[in-house]
Chain A
Amino acid sequence: MKIELTRQKVHNEFAKKVELISGQNLFACYQCGNCTAGCPVAFAMEVGPHEVIRYTLLGLEEEALGVNTFWLCASCLQCTSRCPKGIDIARVMDALRMVILRKKDRKDHIQISEFQEGFLERVPQIAFISGFRKFLS
């Protein structure tokens, strides 16, 4: 329940990495929450996209990477298209995915071997290919 802030923490490496991959300035976010307000999958998220941005900015890497928010993001760009500060939030969500998927241990978010029988036959390629791009290292 307590965050100790220092100037090093405010300019932490984790946030810098997310900014670099996403190309977005997290300091521009004024936490209006418009992204969360319009998110079509917010109902299933543990925290809203605006909160993940806040965690990242404060250098709370474990908290930021530990929630399901960016895994549930469907890249529909609703948040991006209505952000009053012009932050491409979908890119931030993708960057958080990438931070995990690019780690050395290459831990995939979904396991193909665990798909139920018949699933692969049922789902169209387009869903697989985009899904694999988003969820596999």
Chain B
Amino acid sequence: MKENGKFIKRAMVIGGGIAGISASIDIGNAGYDVVLVEKLPSIGGRMLQLSETFPTLDCAQCTLTPKTVETGQHPHIKLLTYSEVDRVEGKAGNFTVKIRRKAAYVDWEKCTGCGLCQEKCPSKKPSEFDRGMGMGKAIYTLSPQAVPNKPVINPSNCRYFLEKKCRVCEKVCPVGAIDYEQQDRFVEERVGAIITAVGIDLIPKETFGEYGYGTIPDVIDGLAFERLNSASGPTTGAIRRPSDGKVPKEVVFIQCTGSRDPERYMPYCSRVCCMYTAKHARLYKHKVHDGQAYIFYMDIRSTGKGYEEFIQQGMEEEGILYLRGRVSRIFRDDGRVVVWGVDTLTGKKVEISADMVVLATAIIPQGGTKGLAQKLGINTDEYGFFTEAERKLRPVETNVEGIYLAGCAQGPKDIADAVAHANGAASKVQGLFAKH
């Protein structure tokens, strides 16, 4: 630990998504120690759920895994996964952070990550990581390449916790790492600067009554489509609709679901949906050659490098039909999903009997963001995104010295922007440390 007088030159990064990982590696490479706190059992964040990424169509896991591995092995990075910030005290150069290390019910010191427990676990429940597209075990890691590769038990799915029987994982574990009695623990870390990179969620599906979301199984959200399309996902990448496993031949994608809707949902643009919807439609076409993809859009916002070209390719080469207009209603009829939209370019109401509908639902901050802001003493806007010190000129700083922002916790961003934001936050931390 580098200490120069009282100013602690050690940083904490809260959130282990691509922004948090990028910031941690930058600071670590500069020679400062970093504590990376992640609430899930392993790092990677939302990007780990993605199949391919725009505009290059690289496999998300293939580009992410070297970063997660680097983070896990980095001599200057200490990983505290399955952990949440409980309390923050102090000021720049001397923060004391109390962290809750959630009970994994597995002794990670003993665990070798062999995976036998997951294989033998008899409980199968819809997997949150797979957005309900597939089943998950009660003892699980988020991916086969998880960093760290240590499982946790979800007590609300575990037969032992629910019914006091089973104990299969305990029986099969070759090193005796299962510990049903484990309790949450608290640890304290002292750091000189904090970057918060807690990321995003999607607006809850129950919100969209008019789209039948949550009642019609073949109406799914963008992250669910990522899981369907992912080689590591529940269908090993085959596009099959949830209701009956059939390959959907007519797929409707709807942008701005809950975004740019000040009257009913979120007034802001979620920024990534234009691009990821184009990506979804193109990936769908790559797998289902005789299928038709329709995209309802209000505007196409493709301002990143190579983005506009990506959209145009989708139209020209894959025959994706863009329909300019919103969708008013979706309902189920005869096993099909009926979409009532409009094509404002002809002015006509459009009805499509689709096999599956993918909603590009609005991006919202992670549930705990406001609470974390309170602990850190920083501000959020009315939707819960962290407020930067100045919108244009100080986009990674907050109104508290020594606390910085990275990634989507400040506002919706694509991966490239989130990484750039994180790089900025990391350089601010390095500057702060160099000054003292």
Chain A residues with a Cβ under 8 A of chain B:
30-39, 42-43, 47-48, 50-51, 78, 82-86
Contacts and interface: CB of A to CB of B under 8 A. Distances in A.
Contacts of B324: 33
A36 B347 contact: yes
Interface in B331-365: 340-344, 347-350
Given A30-B298, A32-B344, A83 B325 contact: no
A117 B37 CA distance: 80
A36 B327 CA distance: 9
Nearest to A51: B347
B305 interface: no
Nearest to A32: B326
A34 B262 contact: no
Contact of A50 (B262, B264, B341, B342): B342
Nearest to A84: B261
B74 interface: no
B262 A33 contact: no
B329 interface: yes
B413 interface: no
B328 interface: yes
Contacts of B265: 84
12 contacts: A30-B298, A34-B326, A37-B349, A37-B350, A38-B328, A48-B347, A48-B348, A50-B342, A82-B264, A84-B262, A85-B262, A86-B263
Contacts of A86: 262-263
A34 B342 contact: yes
Given A39-B349, A51-B344, 13 more contacts: A30-B298, A33-B324, A33-B342, A33-B344, A37-B329, A37-B350, A38-B328, A38-B340, A50-B342, A78-B328, A84-B262, A84-B263, A84-B264
Contacts of A33: 324-326, 341-344
Contacts of B348: 36, 48
Closest 7 CB pairs of A and B: A38-B328, A33-B342, A86-B263, A37-B328, A84-B261, A33-B325, A37-B342
Contact of A37 (B261, B263, B341): B341
Nearest to B350: A37
B181 interface: no
B202 to A, nearest CB: 18
Contacts of B256: 32
Nearest to B263: A86
Q: Which of A35, A82, A86 is most buried by chain B, counting CB atoms within 10 A of its CB?
A: A82
Contacts of B344: 31-33, 36, 48, 50-51
Contacts of B131: none
Nearest to A30: B298
B109 interface: no
A36 B349 contact: yes
A32 B349 contact: no
A38 B342 CA distance: 9
A85 B344 CA distance: 16
Nearest to B348: A48
Q: Which of B261, B263, B328, B341 is most buried by chain A, counting CB atoms within 10 A of its CB?
A: B328
B210 interface: yes
A42 B262 contact: no
